[in-house]
Amino acid sequence: DTAVSQTPKYLVTQMGNDKSIKCEQNLGHDTMYWYKQDSKKFLKIMFSYNNKELIINETVPNRFSPKSPDKAHLNLHINSLELGDSAVYFCASSPFSGGSSYNEQFFGPGTRLTVL
């Protein structure tokens, strides 16, 4: 009955490789997010999708490409991995984005990416 799940939980890879992280939510939410938490625990938004449409794209290198095949899934593909990409990546979802009503974000357990 996991609400927001991510796979894998841990990912260790070499510099220059390409890797993907998957996220799935079973809450029926319309909006999904990717956040990055760096080694100093600082959390920052990377992307957001609403009903498969990209609505937030922060200043992230274009080696990062999110893909949303349907509104329950938001995957993150990273090309040509660099040492600085090592971080914990969190997926989150919320009921909707836009309008004036509050919506709570539910977070996945995170994926710890280590680039060697």
Q: Is 56 in the site for other proteins (CB under 8 A)?
A: yes
Q: Can you tell me which of 31, 68, 75, 93 binds other proteins, judged by CB under 8 A?
A: 31
C-alpha closest to that of 45 among 60, 53, 34, 55: 34
Site string for other proteins, 67-96 (x = CB under 8 A): -----------------------x-x-x--
Q: Can you tell me which of 98, 113, 115, 116 binds other proteins, judged by CB under 8 A?
A: 98
Q: Is 63 in the site for other proteins (CB under 8 A)?
A: no
Tell me how far apart the alpha carbons of residues 40 and 11 are, in angstroms, rounded to a whole number.
19
C-alpha closest to that of 35 among 70, 79, 72, 87: 87
Identity of the amino acid at 38: D
Q: Can you tell me which of 28, 62, 69, 102 binds other proteins, judged by CB under 8 A?
A: 102
Q: Is 14 in the site for other proteins (CB under 8 A)?
A: no
C-alpha closest to that of 76 among 9, 11, 23, 4: 23
**Which CA distances in Å does 10 have to 49, 75, 81, 103?**
24, 15, 15, 29
Q: Is 108 in the site for other proteins (CB under 8 A)?
A: yes
The residues of the shown chain that bind other proteins, judged by CB under 8 A, are 31, 33, 35, 40-45, 48, 55-56, 90, 92, 94, 97-100, 102-110
